[in-house]
Copies of this chain bind each other. A is one copy, B any other.
Amino acid sequence: MTRGVVGIGGGIGASRFWRALLRVLEPAELTLVVNTGDDLWQHGLRICPDLDTTLYALSGRQDAQRGWGLSGETFRCMDALRDLGQEVWFNLGDRDLATHLLRTGLLGDGTSLSEVTAVLARAMGVGVRVLPMTDDMVTTHVVTTAGAVLHYEEFLVRHQAAPEVAEVRYTGAGRAVPAPGVLAAIADAGLVVLAPSNPLASICPVLAVPGIRAALRTTAAPVLAVTPIVSRVPISDPGERLRAASRAGLLAARGLPPTAAAVASLYRDLCRHFVLDAADAVECDAVRAAVRDVIVVPTLPGTGPPDDVLARAVLGARRHEAV
* A residues apposed to B, CB below 8 Å: 41-46, 74, 76-81, 83-86, 94-99, 101-102, 104-105, 107-108, 120, 123-124
Shortest Cβ distance from residue A88 to the other chain B in the assembled complex, whole angstroms: 9
A45 engages B101 (CB within 8 Å): yes
Of the candidates B76, B78, B86, B105, the one whose C-beta lies within 8 Å of that of A74 is: B76
- Complex Cα distance, B78 from A77, in Å, reads 12
Please give me the residue from chain B that is nearest to A86 by CB atom.
Answer: B102
Of the candidates B74, B79, B81, B105, the one whose C-beta lies within 8 Å of that of A44 is: B105
Closest 7 CB pairs of A and B: A44-B104, A80-B98, A43-B101, A80-B95, A43-B105, A76-B94, A81-B98
List 20 extra interface pairs beyond A42-B105, A44-B105, A45-B104, CB under 8 A: A43-B104, A43-B105, A44-B46, A44-B104, A74-B74, A74-B76, A76-B94, A77-B77, A77-B94, A77-B97, A77-B98, A80-B97, A81-B98, A81-B102, A83-B98, A84-B102, A84-B120, A84-B123, A85-B123, A97-B97
Dominant SS among interface residues on chain A: helix
Q: Chain copies in the assembly? A: 2
Q: A45-B44, A45-B101 are in contact. Are A80 and B94 (CB under 8 A)?
A: yes
B43 engages A84 (CB within 8 Å): no
Of the candidates B74, B79, B101, B108, the one whose C-beta lies within 8 Å of that of A81 is: B101
Shortest Cβ distance from residue A107 to the other chain B in the assembled complex, whole angstroms: 7
Contacts of A102 in B (CB 8 A): 43, 81, 84, 86
Shortest Cβ distance from residue A87 to the other chain B in the assembled complex, whole angstroms: 11
A124 engages B94 (CB within 8 Å): no
- Complex Cα distance, B74 from A120, in Å, reads 23
Shortest Cβ distance from residue A113 to the other chain B in the assembled complex, whole angstroms: 14
